[in-house]
A and B are shown apart, each in its own frame.
Chain A
Amino acid sequence: MDIWSSVLLGLDTALSPSTLMYCFIGVFLGTFVGVLPGIGALVTIALLLPITYHLDPTQALIMLAGVYYGAYYGGSTASILLRLPGTPAAAVVCLDGYPMAQQGRAGVALFMTTIASFVGATIGILVLMLASPMLAKLALQFGPAEYFGVMALGLVAAATISGGNPIKGMAMVVVGLVLGLVGIDLQSGMERYTYGIIELNDGIGIVAIAMGVFGVAEVISKINNVEAGHVHSGGISMRSMLPTREDWKRSAMPLLRGSGIGSFFGALPGAGPTISSFLAYAIEQRVSRRPEAFGHGAIEGVTAPEAANNAGIQTAFVPTLTLGIPGDVVMAVLMAAMILHGIPPGPQLVLEQPDLFWGLIMSFWVGNIMLLVLNIPLIGLWVRILTIPYSVLYPGVLMLVCIGVFSVTNNTFQIWQVIAFGAFGYVLMLLRFPVAPMLLGLVLGKLLEEYFRRALVLSRGDLMVFVERPISAVFLALTLSLIVWGIWEAIRRKLRPPPTAGRRALTSND
């Protein structure tokens, strides 16, 4: 099937009225939670997950994906106006976006981030369209040994590269794998770590963990720490948003460079949009003819990272959809949603269910065009939302989490799980352990075990299968070197004098 007929097939799905509606709901909610610091795309997707059980899988997926990329459009709004990133990837936009707002150019910054997001997403989607079918064909030749290698690499990469202490990241992956043990072992039928609690037989719910460690723990740490924005909401008129010709000229190349960086790093498991945006900023500063302007409201410092993180989100779908390997936690939850809906991601999805696959990709175009409309003419709405104080928001978040998780199985046991993981997640946060690798470990753990066993069955128990097959040998060698590097790096860093106090998000790039 050539690409044009695929595109038409996809448009057929994406443009049907009900799909358009779910796509709109997704990107609207995504922008909403992206604008608000303290509620993320992940919790929103986890909340919507039980609701989507009643929907057609394609529409459900389109809506959930819309929340994900919609959040990144909204994320920069709070960065610019309040110097408070709405999403982690938007943290770097604070550096130049906030100074721009102080100079009275908030409107221009908001306009240009939306344009940058759109350009980045457009390029990212093009890469996704071209790369996925090729990768899917390659992946058809993968056996269980190769899948095991790729997955191990993805997990270890996510744990070690994503900033912070690599050993803690790996420890958290193992914690996630351990949590995945709970329940009835499919091989032997034996109950493991259930302590006679019947509800635990099916394992710990991914929705409950996601809501606990990302929703409740986040709320606990944000209360009394987030102030409502003092935004001059009258200040953003359509006229004040128009960039000058100088702004356009300065932004053109950074937009393209940012999109390129984002497209590449977004597709690497473990790298993802946040790292792409930091990298894009660093590179712009290096190639700029006026590096001293960075940090004082340079427009390039806003547009390049925004283009990078939005491109990265789109290309992050490449490994998720074609190989079933999520690049970050949100992708992991999306993948769990796909599995729940009976459409496990992998090369079969790309090649044998083209209507679903291309429908999803075409919905990204549709969704991004909706986001353009939502974020330029309607920016005033989002700015006003920023003025809602957190003390009004968090009870609502807690209520939604509680009822939402209850409705997964109509059982209050789910709420108790969320409470337990909320407490656990908050303690982990205080002890500076990253929680994202834990969730990735939980999602990928079962698959990892499955592929390991299957590879051994095929090789009649010969472990050499993992090193004799060239692709899997390369992946495992990379995994091993990452582990060694991670341990070395962590110990080296510990023995150096500590860096001066600063925001972790802003120093993790150094």
Chain B
Amino acid sequence: MQRFDYRDLIGGLFMVAVGLYVALHAHANYPIGQLQRMGPGYLPVVLGYMLAGFGLLIVLPALLRPVRDDGEPFAVRVFVAVLAAMAVFALTLERFGLAPATMLLVVIAALAEPGVRPVRTGLLAVGLAALGCIIFIYGLGVPIPVFAWGN
């Protein structure tokens, strides 16, 4: 058992923070106007305070009761591997072409799982690269090269 419902506490505080930021940013940068003649800042201010209000309504009950935490743990390794794979894809796609970018994506994404399976990952990388090129470049005419060297 935990003393507070930490997940709700963090989530609620996050909503309060985002809400306040949205509202204050609008106060500082955009003309507010009135309800009848709303300026570009009117809606952001209203929505920001609303969000902060809902955040508080999540935080307060979370402080009042202990819970047994049965939620999903943060899968750090998977999280990093998947997002890194996509980031590398985004960085290499236009510079090196679709085929190398896809292979890198598959190899890095495979690190999300424990254990290394070089043969399976290799086959998957080559297969998916070929499939991607056939569908998107030859089939749909997406304007990216299959291979390219630095530009």
On whether the beta carbons of A223 and B55 are closer than 8 Å, the reply is: no
On whether the beta carbons of A192 and B30 are closer than 8 Å, the reply is: yes
On whether the beta carbons of A412 and B136 are closer than 8 Å, the reply is: no
Partner of B40, one of A188, A456, A463: A188
On whether the beta carbons of B78 and A402 are closer than 8 Å, the reply is: no
The residue of chain B having its C-beta at the shortest distance from the C-beta of A169 within the complex is B54
Query: Could you say which residues of chain A place their CB within 8 Å of the CB of B14?
Result: 431
Task: Find residues 43-76 in chain B having any chain A CB closer than 8 Å to their own CB.
Answer: 43-44, 47-48, 50-51, 54-55, 57-58, 61-62, 64-65, 67-68, 70-72, 74-75
On whether the beta carbons of A423 and B106 are closer than 8 Å, the reply is: no
On whether the beta carbons of A168 and B11 are closer than 8 Å, the reply is: yes
Q: Interface size bucket, B side?
A: 35 or more
C-alpha spacing A476/B59, complex, angstroms = 28
Most chain A beta-carbon neighbours within 10 Å: one of B11, B18, B44, B93 = B11
Query: Could you say which residues of chain A place their CB within 8 Å of the CB of B27?
Result: none
On whether the beta carbons of B61 and A490 are closer than 8 Å, the reply is: yes
Partner of A181, one of B47, B113, B125: B47
- Count of chain A residues with Cβ under 8 Å from any Cβ of B? 64
The residue of chain A having its C-beta at the shortest distance from the C-beta of B90 within the complex is A415
C-alpha spacing A432/B70, complex, angstroms = 11
On whether the beta carbons of A175 and B90 are closer than 8 Å, the reply is: no
A-B Cβ contacts below 8 A, count: 181
Query: B105 in the interface, Cβ–Cβ < 8 Å?
Result: yes
A505 to chain B, nearest CB (A): 14
Query: A418 in the interface, Cβ–Cβ < 8 Å?
Result: yes
B101 to chain A, nearest CB (A): 8
B96 to chain A, nearest CB (A): 13
B110 to chain A, nearest CB (A): 7
C-alpha spacing A378/B82, complex, angstroms = 34
On whether the beta carbons of A461 and B86 are closer than 8 Å, the reply is: no
Taking chain A's interface residues, is the majority helix, strand, or loop, or is none over half, making it mixed?
A: helix
Task: Find residues 488-504 in chain A having any chain B CB closer than 8 Å to their own CB.
Answer: 490-491, 494-495, 497-498, 501
Query: Could you say which residues of chain B place their CB within 8 Å of the CB of A220?
Result: 75, 78-79, 82
Most chain B beta-carbon neighbours within 10 Å: one of A167, A185, A216 = A167
The residue of chain B having its C-beta at the shortest distance from the C-beta of A415 within the complex is B90
The residue of chain B having its C-beta at the shortest distance from the C-beta of A54 within the complex is B140
Task: Find residues 93-113 in chain B having any chain A CB closer than 8 Å to their own CB.
Answer: 93-94, 98, 102, 105-106, 109-110, 112-113
On whether the beta carbons of A494 and B54 are closer than 8 Å, the reply is: no
C-alpha spacing A453/B98, complex, angstroms = 46
On whether the beta carbons of A412 and B93 are closer than 8 Å, the reply is: yes
Query: B36 in the interface, Cβ–Cβ < 8 Å?
Result: yes
On whether the beta carbons of A402 and B142 are closer than 8 Å, the reply is: no
Query: B17 in the interface, Cβ–Cβ < 8 Å?
Result: no
The residue of chain B having its C-beta at the shortest distance from the C-beta of A501 within the complex is B70
C-alpha spacing A168/B114, complex, angstroms = 34
Query: Assuming A422-B83, A490-B57, A498-B67, is B75 touching A395 (CB within 8 A)?
Result: no
Most chain B beta-carbon neighbours within 10 Å: one of A175, A399, A494 = A399
Query: A177 in the interface, Cβ–Cβ < 8 Å?
Result: yes
Query: A464 in the interface, Cβ–Cβ < 8 Å?
Result: no
Q: Could you show 13 A-B contacts with beta carbons less than 8 Å apart?
A: A167-B54, A192-B26, A216-B83, A221-B75, A223-B112, A224-B78, A395-B105, A402-B93, A406-B142, A412-B90, A416-B90, A430-B71, A430-B72
Q: A399-B102, A494-B64 are in contact. List 4 more A-B contacts (CB 8 A).
A: A391-B110, A398-B85, A410-B144, A494-B65
